[in-house]
Chain A
């Protein structure tokens, strides 16, 4: 495993993978190793963030990410508050900044936010004193997902550099894709992306990846296959004729998986649409690490919460 050469994160916030160096990513993954052990203890709790308050501010639906952050916060003994947009003053017309400043008046230490608008976390970071953690902003980034994906790949393959990683599905609407491309690029993986032309981001090559409309080409000899969800809720217009046709051409089946390396692992950030982007036999197959991803999400988020709770270069002392 890599040995990190940095001992802290430079930034105060975690807004995206774009801001992190390869060494900082290494530090987060190493720290997550230690955090994973905490989750395996009889008492799955350490006193590290005792007295710290973390607000989970979710303007978009989420089960996995919100629960995962909450479990991570509780395992570190932080006090947590959950605010869902549907039950907050947002429905009365309050702006994001006003909501944030009002929450901040109650002196939280960190705010974990998910929002439908790309860049919402950056806006919050400019007006708030609290540490901000991006739990997904629009179609922009979802950094903790990419970090837990990297952690899971490393756990199974021992490394990331040099692996062939195929990412397949609704690439256009995916913040998970963006964060993963940035991260896998920094750590030196060979990344292939596959999607129908209508769901391929026009500028995807600038991330240094191979793009194709052939799922078989992407999967051939892959070490890792990552499936992305068809995000019907973000689609305005017709991107493909029908879900059934999508599955026929771009769905991951056992047949297609055979083209990959024999020790391939298959990943999915969830929630899965079985029979749309992934066949049930594949999702539940022996090479599936989809539930490991969920388990590792807690450890990775604990690492991020812990590392951000220290002082950073940007602090005024």
Chain B
């Protein structure tokens, strides 16, 4: 099982994304990070800490569960519903510049659902997309603004981002998906 990013690489990548965010956004007070559950949330928190370390400004972090917005919920005839968790956005998103954070960008369907969910919370001035890994194979016209690593994959492979907060350690691995 090939490790494509180890813990040090994950850390450097998040630090680099934080620098890019500081470079490209003049008014940090207007920013807010929204992490997509599950692993987008710890990544968003780490970006917030990294930006605070660089600039002293702490960007607030919200949590978004997109389950109720998925486009495949009612199409599956096998298996139970996925477990829904709480969404927690403790600030108004109206007129904010939102940084939407997820671990892996693949078909783009999760991001589509996240955009629909976010817009139900208000009218942000803008939404930018931050991902740790972009593995290609988009099914919707969606593009990330900040990419940790571009990772060419085959659709048969699965990309797993593991983080200390959720999985005990930081690494990104590519596996041959079980058929």
Interface residues of A (CB under 8 A from B): 4, 7-9, 27, 30-31, 33-35, 37-38, 41-43, 45-52, 76, 303, 306-307, 309-312, 315, 317
Contact = CB atoms under 8 A, between A and B. Distances in A.
A216 to B, nearest CB: 40
B24 interface: no
Contacts of B80: 7-9, 307, 310-312
A41 B118 CA distance: 11
B77 to A, nearest CB: 5
A309 B68 CA distance: 12
A118 B76 CA distance: 34
B120 interface: yes
Nearest to B94: A42
B157 interface: no
B88 A37 contact: yes
Most buried by A among B81, B87, B117: B81
Contacts of B86: 33-34, 37
A48 B65 CA distance: 13
24 contacts: A4-B83, A7-B83, A8-B79, A30-B83, A34-B65, A34-B86, A37-B88, A41-B121, A43-B121, A46-B69, A47-B68, A47-B69, A48-B73, A49-B74, A51-B74, A306-B68, A306-B81, A307-B81, A309-B74, A310-B79, A310-B81, A311-B76, A311-B78, A315-B77
B83 A311 contact: no
Contacts of B85: 30, 34
Given A34-B65, A46-B68, 10 more contacts: A7-B81, A8-B79, A37-B88, A43-B120, A47-B116, A48-B68, A48-B69, A309-B74, A311-B77, A311-B79
Given A47-B69, A310-B79, A311-B79, A35 B121 contact: no
B64 to A, nearest CB: 11
B84 interface: yes
Contacts of B69: 46-48
A47 B112 CA distance: 13
A213 B11 CA distance: 66
B26 to A, nearest CB: 28
B82 interface: yes
A38 B81 contact: no
B155 interface: no
Most buried by A among B80, B86, B116: B80
Contacts of B83: 4, 7, 27, 30-31
Interface string B111-133: 00000110011100000000000
Contacts of A34: 65, 67-68, 84-87
A5 to B, nearest CB: 11
A315 B81 CA distance: 14
Most buried by B among A42, A76, A317: A42
Q: Which 7 A-B pairs have the closest CB atoms?
A: A8-B80, A310-B81, A46-B68, A34-B84, A48-B68, A43-B120, A310-B80
Interface in B18-72: 65, 67-69
Contacts of B122: 42
B171 to A, nearest CB: 25
A52 B122 CA distance: 26
A104 B79 CA distance: 24
A45 B74 contact: no
A4 B122 CA distance: 32
A9 B76 CA distance: 15
A309 B67 CA distance: 14
A47 B79 CA distance: 20
B82 to A, nearest CB: 7
A306 B79 contact: no
B68 A38 contact: yes
B84 A52 contact: no
Contacts of B78: 311, 317
A6 B121 CA distance: 30
A312 B81 CA distance: 9
Contacts of A317: 77-78
Contacts of B76: 310-311
A274 to B, nearest CB: 36
A27 to B, nearest CB: 7
Contacts of A315: 77
Interface in B96-122: 116-117, 120-122
B65 A46 contact: no
Nearest to B93: A42
A46 B77 contact: no
Contacts of B117: 46
A202 to B, nearest CB: 39
